[in-house]
Structure 1
Amino acid sequence: MSDLPGDAADPPPIGERADADPTREESLARLLGGGRAAVEGSVPPVGFLVGWLASDGDLTASVVWSLAASAVVLVLSVVQRRTARAVLIGMLATAVAAMIAQQTGEARNFFLVQLLSNAASALAWIVSIAVRWPFLGLIVGGLIGTRTRWRRDPGLLRAYSRASWVWVAQYVVRVAVFTVLWWLDEATWLAIMRVALTYPLIIACVAISGWVLFASIPRGHPGIRAPQVPLG
């Protein structure tokens, strides 16, 4: 089928999708930068886990490993001329977490920042859905240039809201697992689960929320790049 506008077939009746439906051609993973962000987000916790296991639970050594791994990602980002903001934030969070653990004298408290940040993220996403400004819509709208026009499209607003609940679930899963392990003072398992619930969970979240997003768009809708704003 040609991509030229003049060769396009007649549009399908309202309520039916075309074979080349744009809502099916999109990929949330591609819009969010593919798997690179998830991989880079996994590097610091993997570094911490390696350091933790190699040093038999030495917090200082583990933090050094984590920061060193983050520094490698930072250098690669600079060389490739990509934004390094997320890496810098991750390094800062690691340093703060290490300070908390050192001050309290408990290795498990290194994971308090991770636990609390996930709890705060879950709450923030829930509030965004409740006030009809779902974060996923803000993120995707900013990336594809529709900004906030999707809010005036009832179909897209509903789709972004439904898909945002998947992101809430991601944070809730982490909070539940981290809370139990923190309460049991299982620092080693906290390090392991921090890794397990980074890359795999992010990939699953993006895949599932993408499916929910596009499956929730009404039939016959032109897709997320073309919000249908009512006249008047």
Structure 2
Amino acid sequence: MTVSEPRTGAVPTPDEDAAAELVPAAFEEGRYDADGDPTREESLARLLGGGKAALEGSVPPIAFLIAWLATGGELLTAVIWSLVASAATLVYALVERRRPKAVFIGMLMTVIAAMIAYYTGEARNFFLIQLLSNAASALAWVISIVIGWPFLGIIVGGLIGTKTRWRKDPVLLRAYQRASWIWVMQYVIRVVVFTVLWWLDETTWLAIMRAALTYPLIIACVAVSGWVLFAAIPKSHPGIRKPQVAVAD
């Protein structure tokens, strides 16, 4: 029986994430990707599911914007179309046998936002819950970083199976903390933009920026935070899948 040779020049198959890149053959031993392939770098975008989740999250706000502009600012119609879009993404997720929790949360927030706008009588308040939720998220991420439990580490650790062992590795803890600041900036950008437009009562621009700051900003956030995360890990370290936990003598 012969032993097959190691894969040193494998090319990603068409169904794999387009963001994956080939790296030199001298890629550090042991720092493989999720498939155990030494020819492909670890990627935060791949770990978090690529851009599919971000794209699905941008569908409802885009539907709201289109309906809002098409009807000349009819809140009820725009909300209905946003809910229809949410339902469509929900069905798509179920067909693909994925957990549609994020879609459910999005639909719930849309309903709550519509109720706030209806009872206050101001269309701009439809975006108030977005403003407040982003402010709360920014604060929560900051707290998680300060207390040594950065959310990015918790999320990635849960996805790759290391759970919270990375907290006992100073290198990984510091890397997750640095990368988590990029996520804080994402929320802060939305808070600043939404606050200014809400204060000026620019409902149309709120709808435009709500859509513009969903998919593009999330993709940018994942890309930049991924770069920060892996740049903060020395080449001598085996990577995020192998936390180096010190053993007491």
Instruction: Give the helix-richer structure, 1 or 2.
Output: 1
Q: Percent identity?
A: 71
Measured in 1, the distance between the counterparts of 2:144 and 2:95 equals 36
Q: 1:207 and 1:172 mapped to 2: Cα distance?
A: 17
Secondary structure at the residue paired with 1:25? Answer: coil
Alignment of 1:155-166 (within 5 A): 155-166=171-182
Aligned to 1:20: 27
Aligned match of 2:51: 35
Aligned partner of 2:194 in structure 1 is 178
- What SS does the aligned partner of 2:230 have? helix
Determine whether 1:188 maps to 2:204: yes
2:26 counterpart SS class: coil
Mapping of residues 72-221 of structure 1, within 5 Å: 72-221=88-237
Residue 78 of structure 1, CA deviation: 1.1
Question: Which one-letter code corresponds to 2:6 in the other structure?
Answer: S
How far apart are the structure 1 equivalents of 2:151 and 2:217?
18
Q: Which runs of 4+ in 1 moved over 3 A?
A: none
Q: CA deviation at 1:80?
A: 1.2
CA RMSD, Structure 1 to Structure 2 (Å): 1.4
Q: Please state if 1:2 is matched with 2:28.
A: no
1:15 counterpart residue number? none
* TM-score, scaled to structure 1: 0.92
Partner of 2:67: 51
TM-score, length basis structure 2: 0.86
Q: CA deviation at 1:3?
A: 4.3
1:70 aligns with 2:74: no
Instruction: Supply the distance in 2 between the matched residues of 1:3 and 1:68 (Cα, whole angstroms).
Output: 47
Aligned twin of 2:36: none
1:144-170 per-residue CA deviation (whole Å, 9 max, x = no partner) reads: 000000000000000000000000000
Give 1:212 deviation, angstroms: 0.1
- Structure 1 regions of 5+ residues with no counterpart? 5-17
Structure 2 Cα separation of the partners of residues 129 and 218 of structure 1: 21
* 1:123-180 deviation digits (Å, cap 9, x = unpaired): 0000000000000000000000000000000000000000000000000000000000
Q: Which gives a bigger RCO, structure 1 or 2 (Cα 8 Å, sep 6+)?
A: 1
Report the Cα offset of residue 219 of structure 1: 2.7
Query: CA separation in 2, counterparts of 1:145 and 1:121?
Result: 25
